Amino acid sequence: MCDTTFTFGQRGDHFFQCPSLQDHTRLPKKLTSFLTSSQLQKVHHITLGFENSFLITYRDKTGHDHIESRGLPPELENFLYATPPNGATTRNIPNLRLILGPYNTSFFVHDGSSYLWMNLPQPLLSALQSRIKNGSWTDKPRIVALGADGNFLLITEKHAAVWDLSHYRTISSMLEYSRTQDRGIEEIHAGTLHPYRYQCFVAQSRNGTLLHENLPPHQVAGVEGMTAAVMRDTKEAERKAKVERRPSLQQRASLTRDWGERKQEFRAQANGLRLSLSLSVSAAGIAGGIGKMLG
């Protein structure tokens, strides 16, 4: 699998990215200035919103990570730029991911450990709240997508899927079919709904395949141009993962001895393995909606 970004703005702008390729058009001038800066080394993530609003997280050539944004709701900016007394950023910038609903009236943002959302559709809000117990996630969100007229998609790390996609019939049918297949939901790696255009989406499978529908004509070539690059980058990521998992000859010899001597101990440890989360929940009313933070 490879990390990708597919985001659509209200003004017909888009930004698509995979490790080896970018494609974008009609971007806000301020965002374009960041992307063309000689100090830019790597773009972590971009989200486009209503009018000229955006979020970009990036690394400069000195190795420092940055957050820049324009036109976002104040509750969201407070989360993004939260700083402790020592002045260092609170957020894990490379892992920041933001999903904006239509006209920026709703959002879901996280950095892998802290989460904030506002004005989410009630079924999505209920699905998220049902997966929190004693201030910790029992099943973290893996994919969240916000579409037009309250449509949404949620897929969790345990591959539970909840959605209302009445305006995105093709992806809804794909999810219904995936539910009937062995590991079907698990094979969905990423998904983006166009918040200003019915039936428009981009979905990515674990093997790197892209599926899309009803893109604006000026954006079709951009997505189709990403298809081969995403597939190639996915295969490269899988190859690197196999190499990293493969022990050296010396390590293999050592592991063989250890496994032979400690097989029962390893089995006991594996059977007792548990993942522990340490998160706190704070809830506060937000004008015009419901907000909740985990972090």
The pTM (predicted TM-score) of the whole model is: 0.82
Residue 264 pLDDT class (50, 70, 90 cuts): very low
Look up tokens 């006209």; give the residue: 103
- Tens digits of per-residue pLDDT, 70-93? 999 999 999 999 988 777 778 999
Q: Quick one: how far is CA 66 from the chain centroid?
A: 18
- Tens digits of per-residue pLDDT, 161-203? 999 999 999 999 999 999 999 889 999 999 999 999 999 999 9
The C-alpha atoms of residue 234 and residue 220 are separated, in whole angstroms, by 21
Residue 250 pLDDT class (50, 70, 90 cuts): low
The C-alpha atoms of residue 76 and residue 225 are separated, in whole angstroms, by 32
- Tens digits of per-residue pLDDT, 30-60? 999 999 999 999 999 999 999 999 999 999 9
Q: Cα separations (Å) of 242 from 52, 178, 236?
A: 42, 27, 10
Q: Is the pLDDT of residue 249 over 90?
A: no
In one-letter notation, the amino acid at residue 295 is G
